[in-house]
Amino acid sequence: MLTEKWLANLPLPPITQVTPVGGGDVNAAYRVATTQGTFFLLVQAHQPASFYAGEIAGLKAFTAAKIRAPRVIAHGQSAGDAYLILSYLEPVANGDQSALGALVAKLHAYASPTGRFGFSQPYAGTSVSFANPWSDSWAELFINQRLDVLDAALVAKHRWAPHQRTDFLQVRAVISRTLAAYPSQPVLLHGDLWSGNYMFTPEGPALIDPAAWYGDAEFDLAITTVFGGFSSAFYQAYQHAHPLAAGFSLRQHFYRLYYLMVHLDKFGSGYSRSVQAELDAILA
């Protein structure tokens, strides 16, 4: 519960109401009404203000790409807790999945300004973090800085099931060979594109909570398939603007595996069977 003293440190007009908002598992989130409008507040307890540097950089990249998303208002630290204040987007219950597909395709049309893969900021997670160094090779960046980091975390936490790591090492070799032969292009990615990270507003669909970096567009699209929440209209509109290359049916499993390994690391053995299914699909 945020105290009046804690809230008084925020660079906002006089606050009239603070309402908790659910739906995330990383930050505490609040709708903050003030005498001069409504704002969205994220709080990460016992963290420095720099905790939000990656999200801020991602949202600013979205602004540069003309993607509808919250705008950064302010960030800092109050009583030892990091905070991030964003513009408030008013949600509506239903929206146009075709427009959402077109929005994600527009995101993926925004090329890396450096011509390289990576990002200006690391991804700082509460369970595992990724360095995001600039690289000329998508295969090396994805394998060395994502999959290998996750593998090390799973080994350290004893979360690989018996024989599962042996399968992973075989899969790693398949991924390395396949991506080395695929001409990836570095474009702006959301980085965590599940159904909880888009919303519909009166103005149209918006993307929220980015874990942005520049990588292969197939990364985002594959992640949309893990937990559902995207309709056939979404995929049709996306492919109309950004056609998928041959071989995606295999390559999508590389990114599904990554995403489920993240969940295995964070939430434990409940995701072991799903991880194994992706390993099996790649080895089949």
Other C-beta atoms closer than 10 Å to the C-beta of 1 total 6
Beta strands in 127-261 (DSSP E): 187-189, 198-201, 204-207, 213-215
Strand partners, 204: 201
Chain-centroid distance of CA 243 in Å reads: 22
Residues with Cβ within 8 Å of residue 122, at least 6 apart in sequence: 54, 129, 130, 131, 132
Supply 76's token pair: 């800092």
Catalytic residue among 81, 151, 167, 192: 192
Q: Is 192 a catalytic residue?
A: yes
CA distances from 16 to 85, 89, 188 (A): 16, 18, 37
- The one-letter amino acid code at 13 reads P
Q: Which SS3 state, helix, strand or coil, does residue 171 take?
A: helix
Residues with Cβ within 8 Å of residue 110, at least 6 apart in sequence: 61, 64, 65, 67, 187, 188
Quickly tell me which residue has 């509109």 as its tokens.
237
CA distance 85 to 34: 13
DSSP H helices in 36-147: 53-64, 97-108, 138-142
CA distance 196 to 264: 19
- The one-letter amino acid code at 222 reads A
Secondary structure element (H or E) that encloses residue 25, with its range: none
- The residues that are catalytic are 192
